């Protein structure tokens, strides 16, 4: 009889432990769901900002462009100088109505504050990639690539920590950094010619 009582007591305590574990697991799951919702909301906002910029550029809405872009936007370009269409649009360097460059995105991907947009213009035999950085609803940086195959990587340190006698001024021990590819341009091959390749680390 005492054996059964002991077993019931053990079972009861294991059920209590299980209930607490389930509550803890549920709380962790809810916390992860909240984090996922926050990231998704930020992603949608950043994509919305970039898409609003393309709309403003295509309709030549200068006021909207000024609201969306930081006044000190950092612009970086890779490609032939004759293909600096975005710079001409952003700075108003081309007020000529005959100049027209369609910036209709064919693909859009977001990694945190970085929004990658890709498109191509078969008539001009060009492909383009724009990497926008959005900070607090404003675009603060653009990296523009023309007729360039782009691979986006995420930098991550090795899981190994340096030895305890590690001297930071020494070059004997260098902590390896892993570059994990997370995105690659698809339309650079469709322009009918060989193009250079670059890596953007985020």
At 183-196, the pLDDT tens digits run 998 877 666 677 88
pLDDT band at 47 (very low <50, low <70, confident <90, very high): very high
Q: What is the CATH number of domain 2-201?
A: 3.10.450.50
Average pLDDT value for the chain? 77
- pLDDT above 70: residue 140: yes
Cα–Cα distances in angstroms (integers) from residue 18 to residues 10, 154, 192, in the given order: 12, 39, 62
**Across the chain, how many H-helices and E-strands are there?**
3, 8
Least confident window among 36-40, 59-63, 68-72, 147-151 = 36-40
Would the pTM of this model clear 0.85, i.e. be above it?
no
* % of the chain residues with pLDDT over 90: 27
Q: Taking Cα atoms as reference points, which of 46, 177, 198 lies closest to residue 111?
A: 46
Residues 6+ away with beta carbon under 8 Å from 93: 87
Token digits for 92?
Answer: 């108003």
Task: Return the domain boundaries, the chain.
Answer: 2-201
At residue 1, the pLDDT reads 44
- pLDDT above 80: residue 10: no
pLDDT, tens digit, 9 for 90 and up, residues 144-177: 998 888 999 987 765 544 444 445 555 556 666 7
Which residues are registered as beta bridge partners of 107? Answer: 118
- pLDDT above 60: residue 88: yes
At residue 59, the pLDDT reads 86
Number of C-beta neighbours around residue 143 at 10 A: 19
Q: Taking Cα atoms as reference points, which of 199, 200, 180, 196 lies closest to residue 188?
A: 196
Cα 13 to Cα 30: distance, rounded to the nearest angstrom:
26
pLDDT, tens digit, 9 for 90 and up, residues 23-37: 666 667 677 777 777
Token digits for 84?
Answer: 């600096």
CB 161 within 8 A of CB 113: no
């Amino acid at each position: 009889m005492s054996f059964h009582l002991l077993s019931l007591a053990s079972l009861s305590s294991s059920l209590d432990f299980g209930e607490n574990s389930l509550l803890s697991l549920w709380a962790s799951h809810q916390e992860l769901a909240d984090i996922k919702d926050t990231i998704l909301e930020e992603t949608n906002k950043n994509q919305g900002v970039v898409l609003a910029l393309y709309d403003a550029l295509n309709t030549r809405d200068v006021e909207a462009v000024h609201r969306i872009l930081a006044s000190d936007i950092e612009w970086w370009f890779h490609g032939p100088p004759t293909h600096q269409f975005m710079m001409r649009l952003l700075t108003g360097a081309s007020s000529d109505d005959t100049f027209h460059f369609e910036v209709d995105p064919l693909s859009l991907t977001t990694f945190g504050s970085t929004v990658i947009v890709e498109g191509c213009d078969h008539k001009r035999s060009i492909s383009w990639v724009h990497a926008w950085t959005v900070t607090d609803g404003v675009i603060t940086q653009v990296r523009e690539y023309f007729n360039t195959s782009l691979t986006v990587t995420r930098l991550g340190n090795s899981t190994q920590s340096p030895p305890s006698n590690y001297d930071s001024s020494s070059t004997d021990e260098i902590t390896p950094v892993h570059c994990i590819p997370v995105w690659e341009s698809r339309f650079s091959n469709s322009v009918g010619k060989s193009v250079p390749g670059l890596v953007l680390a985020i």
